[in-house]
């Protein structure tokens, strides 16, 4: 299944957001893969962040990610950059209207 998300970051932190994502912790990358995340991309348009990723079982994937200490540390690390509330960062309510494989 395909999933997307939308975040808003602090306008003055755009360069910092890019810098941090150019250096994502290896432990976090490992966690994402172990949780079943694949084909993960993040796009930036001003202060708007759009992400896309795929996994087989969203509930299982989110359980693994959200219960991990490394994810908690990453969220804390990013909290000064991201405006969007943590509880609204991952959702499966976005309707896909077109897809080309």
The residues that are catalytic are 21
* Cβ proximity of 83 and 10 under 8 Å: yes
Q: Rounded distance, CA 56 to CA 49, Å?
A: 23
Q: Rounded distance, CA 14 to CA 52, Å?
A: 19
Token readout for 20 is 């941090």
What is the distance, to the nearest Å, from the Cα of residue 4 to the centroid of all Cα atoms in its chain? 9
CA nearest neighbour of 51 among 64, 39, 63: 39
């Amino acid at each position: 299944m395909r999933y997307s998300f939308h975040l808003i970051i602090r306008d003055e932190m755009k360069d910092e957001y890019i810098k941090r994502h150019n250096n994502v912790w290896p432990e976090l990358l490992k966690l994402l893969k172990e949780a079943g995340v694949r084909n993960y991309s993040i796009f930036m348009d001003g202060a708007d962040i759009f992400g896309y990723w795929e996994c087989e079982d969203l509930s299982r994937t989110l359980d693994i990610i959200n219960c991990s200490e490394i994810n908690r540390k990453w969220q804390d690390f990013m909290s000064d950059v991201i405006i969007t509330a943590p509880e609204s960062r991952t959702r499966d309510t976005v309707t896909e209207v077109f897809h080309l494989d």
